Structure 1
Amino acid sequence: MLSKLDLYRIFDAVAQNSSFSQAAKQLFLTQPAVSQSIMQLENELAVRLFKRTSKGVTLTQEGTLLYDYVHSAIHLIESGENKVQELKTLTAGTITIGVGDTISRYYLLPYLENFHRRYPDIKFKLINGTTSELCTILKTGQIDIAICNFPIEDDKLELIPCQEIQDTFVCGEQYKKDFTNPISLTELVKYPLICLDNASISRQFIDEFMESHGIQLVPEFELGAHDLLLDFAKINLGIACVTREFAADYLKDGSLTEIQLTEQIPKRSIGICYLKSVPLNTASLKFIAGMVSPS
């Protein structure tokens, strides 16, 4: 039995063609099937929709009124179906990504560039925040995925580690002579320290590492951005705790020196998170695949 939507699709085709036979060809149906469908619709609505003549059919007054609504509705449905197909084939759509400034600058940009080159019709919207903030807004639906510092403990989120990173301590020219040999954490904390503020996952990770060695970290400076850590260390305001991969340019040109420790700081990672309970759109899934297995 045909659904009401099927009947209206047939009605729309007959009205456009002014012919049962032409509508049947357009819909790949038999003419009797089209005639029977129109009769069923007329019976359900208890009105006559078409005037039958030897030259074809024309809409009645009731049919004309109904056609305006049906044609608009069918057009909207078809437009919606086309949009869905565009999303599936990555010829339209938007990916909303939550990410911090540092990860965006030093890690995410190459993946955005590569994806945009392959799928230029997909748009990106970036929302800035700390890892904790991004995990919170993920659950409100404001973003599709977040690129965050790990570790994260949240059973509502799917977590995909992407790249290992190494926390380390660096210094400027003034302090360089003090660190020609490896130094212990106990000796290190006697120097003025520069760290991220304690709201960040990166800082919490270092705090826990220090506490595991019986040391409480009390920085001289607590900053809100990784680049500021590098700049403060460069002008000799203290010893900065930074991410080695994000300090590569400073270490390469010699403006900062990495301090060798007798205790090894464990590696951690940057990764992708998204809600387990919400299916991702095709574009987001494709973007994640490119980050996990870049081509």
Structure 2
Amino acid sequence: MNMADLEWYRVFTTVARCGNITRAAEELFLTQPAVSQCIRALERELACTLFTRTPKGVRLTREGEALYSHTARGCEAITRGERVVRGMRDLETGTLAVGAADMTLQFFLLRPLEQFHAAYPGVRVSVTNGPTPETLDKLRQGRIDFGAVSSPVDAAQSLHIAPYTALHDVFVASSAVFPNLRGKSVTPAELCALPLVCLEKNTSTRRFLDGWFGSHDTALAPEFELATSHLIVQFALRGLGIGSVVRDFAAEQLASGALFELTLAETPPPRAVCLATDPASVLSAAAVRFLDIIKTYYEHNEDSFL
């Protein structure tokens, strides 16, 4: 069936439902001659008469009734499908699937997500939480629309990685337990000798720290390896070690004085929050709009890479 055939059936179904060519033409935004032409073309194709004329319009023949019993359901399904697609296009409905780690979700995605949800409440948003390698795997598998990840990103060439804003890794300590370290310049080797609390190995943050310490000829051997930065802050507050976190995670505790930031002789270079997309996949209207909101939100940020 070609597109012309499909249009014939759509016209036939509308005429059959209206029982009148004039009303059908108005509903279809076609001229009466165009409607009549479609009906004649379909009758030629099927080699039968589908309508008989009446004083008030048209009436289905037996063959027309048999055909309408099938096309009515088909056209209704097509109409529903068109309605769903238009709703997705206009962001009245649809879904958005995003992958992110704790840090990128809380300090990068959350505020743009609030804006998106307020503007498009009909779009259902699913956020999958996990470390960067897991997020990239889900993106390759097509399980998410895009991922918000932190560098360094060991991604296949098939993915597009765009940096958006800077991250600053710091080391924080309890003011009550480690007052002797406040204001002291600490080298990477001296830092590594302290009881450190870091993220687990399957994270981009840990991979970055391992590389940074390695570049200073020392190996990172944490006292504690934890799953989330929130836990690292709690361990640091209780004096269980020196916490390695992105500065934003400890901002409240640093401001209150419960924690202080160690002064480093050499500071780790800034990293980036990146958006990962798969060029081989077509982004939904919801995903495109959310990415636009993120870009607008961060393009004037002082740490922006845009």
TM-score range, shorter chain: over 0.9
What's the counterpart of residue 161 of structure 2? 159
What's the counterpart of residue 102 of structure 2? 101
State the one-letter code of the partner of 2:247.
R
What's the counterpart of residue 67 of structure 1? 68
CA deviations over 1:40-65 (Å, ceiling 9, x no partner): 21222233222233443211222112
> 2:25, 2:35 within 8 Å by CA — same for their partners in 1?
yes
Between the aligned partners of 1:290 and 1:145, the Cα distance in structure 2 is 14
Correspondence list, 1:135-284, <5 A: 135-154=136-155, 155-172=157-174, 173-284=176-287
What's the counterpart of residue 289 of structure 1? 292
Q: How many Å apart are 1:280 and its aligned residue? A: 0.8
Q: State the SS of the aligned residue for 2:273.
A: strand
The answer on 1:15 being equivalent to 2:3 is no
Q: How many Å apart are 1:128 and its aligned residue? A: 1.5
Between the aligned partners of 2:194 and 2:29, the Cα distance in structure 1 is 82
Distance 1:61 1:176, change over 3 A: farther
> 1:96, 1:124 within 8 Å by CA — same for their partners in 2?
yes
Distance 1:190 1:2, change over 3 A: closer
Q: How many Å apart are 1:38 and its aligned residue? A: 1.6
Q: State the SS of the aligned residue for 1:142.
A: coil
Distance 1:30 1:187, change over 3 A: closer
Taking structure 1 as the reference length, the TM-score comes to 0.93
Between the aligned partners of 2:99 and 2:20, the Cα distance in structure 1 is 55
Distance 1:293 1:31, change over 3 A: closer
CA deviations over 1:202-254 (Å, ceiling 9, x no partner): 00001111111111111111111111111111111111111112211111111
Taking structure 2 as the reference length, the TM-score comes to 0.90
> 1:162, 1:291 within 8 Å by CA — same for their partners in 2?
no
Q: How many Å apart are 1:28 and its aligned residue? A: 4.0
Share of identical aligned residues, percent?
Answer: 36
State the one-letter code of the partner of 1:4.
D
Between the aligned partners of 1:216 and 1:176, the Cα distance in structure 2 is 25
What's the counterpart of residue 304 of structure 2? none
Distance 1:61 1:196, change over 3 A: same
Which runs of 5 or more residues in structure 2 are unaligned? Answer: 299-306
Q: How many Å apart are 1:281 and its aligned residue? A: 1.1
> 1:194, 1:239 within 8 Å by CA — same for their partners in 2?
yes
> 1:163, 1:270 within 8 Å by CA — same for their partners in 2?
yes
Q: State the SS of the aligned residue for 1:228.
A: helix
Q: How many Å apart are 1:2 and its aligned residue? A: 7.2
State the one-letter code of the partner of 1:250.
Q
Runs of 4+ displaced beyond 4 Å: none
Between the aligned partners of 1:19 and 1:208, the Cα distance in structure 2 is 77
Count of matched residue pairs: 295
> 2:181, 2:262 within 8 Å by CA — same for their partners in 1?
no
State the one-letter code of the partner of 1:268.
R
Q: How many Å apart are 1:283 and its aligned residue? A: 1.3
